[in-house]
Amino acid sequence: MSDRRNRPLSPSTKLAQALRYLDRETGAIVPPIQPSATYARDEDYAVRRSYMYRRDGNPTTEQAEAIIADLEGAVDCMLFSSGMSACMSVIDTLKPGDHVVVPEVMYHGVLQQFQRYAKLHRLEVSYYRPGDLDALRDACRKGKTRLVWVESPNNPDWDVTDIAAAAELAHAAGAKLLTDCTGTPPCATRALELGADFSFHSATKYLNGHSDVTAGALSVRNMDAWWEEIEGHRKLQGTVLQSFDAFLLIRGMRTLTLRYERATLNALRIATHFEGHPQVRKVLYPGLESHPDHDIAKRQTHGMYGGMMSIIVKGDEQAAIDVARFCQLFYPATSLGGVESLIEHRKTVSGEGFKVHPALLRLSIGIEDADDLIADLEQALDRALG
């Protein structure tokens, strides 16, 4: 018989209980929000905890960080005021002239920063096609490459990169691997366990899940000088996640597993329904068996593919925009990973100079009734293309 007392708790239990939060003094089971901008020293003129000032952090944010670090199997996690500010803390702490290897198609904000820094000669940047490990290997320069960036699944085509294989290639070149698995949060993919050195998530998306916070979560496998530098950068930039947002994030994360499972089930139904549909050229969803990266996606997410997909409609750019306009249930809005479904014409949002099919619509599938969502897309497709 198994020993129940020593049985490790599953991530969904720990999430539901916010890592079994308990205020010893009051018995409260929900963390309080600490809004103070400054902290008084004690009678010996010493700092009481690690906080002197609002930019240092706060106990609410630390609780959220502890939850994510535990979920990721990380030694430490830092929360930032947005996903982009977390990414920028990593990028800005690279040394001038460092070589980095990044996907040629990825979240457009991060890509723009790499392109900008390459133009300013602050970084040397090489690109690889997402999911293409040979191209990734060729792009690495032994002893020179400092960081390999993997986004998986990849915006907005949802290609999947084998993280364990990418980690081996990065490490063979003497580089660190950072993964952006915003589309598959740690209840599905734990990148550090697969060999990544940094695991990043835009917590704005699935981790919070309610479209009312922007936040970035950066977790690390081993502490080192670079991590300390990132910590210092966050403090000086003032980009630590603030306490009210951390409170909302903790509340959101309690239902992460439920929300993510439901989004996956809905997305599987929708992708299957529209694959081969007369008005749809292509459905891009790693959960479909026809997807070229299906096997690695299945392994890497344990079958929890999530709610992100794209459809390429039969018709031109305007027809795709019309489908997004004509939806009555899907909100025509950017972002992803919330409980409500969103539709977005990606080319309009990512702008010129970004490789994206002009008739591609990115769908973030929420937790509504799948039949309602299917009916909404059907009527929009009919009106735009029928």
- Point out which residues bind ligand PLP (CB under 6 A): 82-84, 107, 109-110, 151, 155, 180, 182, 202, 204-205, 214, 216, 336
The residue (of 205 and 259) whose beta carbon lies closer to ligand PLP is: 205
Give me the least distance between CB of 284 and ligand PLP, in Å please.
15
The residue (of 107 and 330) whose beta carbon lies closer to ligand PLP is: 107
287 in Cβ contact with 305 (< 8 Å): yes
75 in Cβ contact with 221 (< 8 Å): yes
**Spatial separation of the C-alpha atoms in residues 266 and 287, rounded to whole Å:** 11
Bridge partners (DSSP) of residue 78 are: 218
Query: Is 127 known to be catalytic?
Result: no
Q: How many CB atoms are closer than 10 A to CB 262?
A: 18
Element (H, E) at 281: strand 280-284
Query: Is 205 known to be catalytic?
Result: yes
**Spatial separation of the C-alpha atoms in residues 198 and 218, rounded to whole Å:** 7
3 state DSSP class of 101: strand
Active-site entry in 98, 157, 162, 180: 180
Active-site entry in 14, 21, 54, 55: 55
311 in Cβ contact with 344 (< 8 Å): no
Contacts of 208 by beta carbon, 8 Å cutoff, 6+ apart: 215, 248, 249, 252, 253, 337
Tokens of 230: 């990132």
Give me the least distance between CB of 17 and ligand PLP, in Å please.
26
**Spatial separation of the C-alpha atoms in residues 12 and 188, rounded to whole Å:** 11
Give me the least distance between CB of 159 and ligand PLP, in Å please.
13
Q: How many CB atoms are closer than 10 A to CB 213?
A: 22
Give me the least distance between CB of 81 and ligand PLP, in Å please.
9
Give me the least distance between CB of 109 and ligand PLP, in Å please.
6
The residue (of 252 and 315) whose beta carbon lies closer to ligand PLP is: 252
3 state DSSP class of 151: strand
Q: Which of 11, 31, 13, 15 is nearest to 23 (CA)?
A: 31
Query: Is 107 known to be catalytic?
Result: yes
Active-site entry in 98, 107, 162, 322: 107
Query: Is 180 known to be catalytic?
Result: yes
The residue (of 109 and 358) whose beta carbon lies closer to ligand PLP is: 109
Element (H, E) at 117: helix 108-119
- Nearest residue to the partner ligand PLP, using Cβ: 83
Alpha-carbon Rg of the chain, whole angstroms?
21
Active-site entry in 146, 176, 205, 282: 205
Give me the least distance between CB of 336 and ligand PLP, in Å please.
6
Give me the least distance between CB of 320 and ligand PLP, in Å please.
20
Element (H, E) at 80: strand 76-80
The residue (of 204 and 279) whose beta carbon lies closer to ligand PLP is: 204
Query: Count of H helices and E strands in the chain?
Result: 13, 11
Taking CA atoms, 59 is separated from 54, 143, 362, in Å, by 11, 40, 37
The residue (of 89 and 279) whose beta carbon lies closer to ligand PLP is: 89
Element (H, E) at 218: strand 216-220
Q: Which residues are catalytically annotated?
A: 55, 107, 180, 205
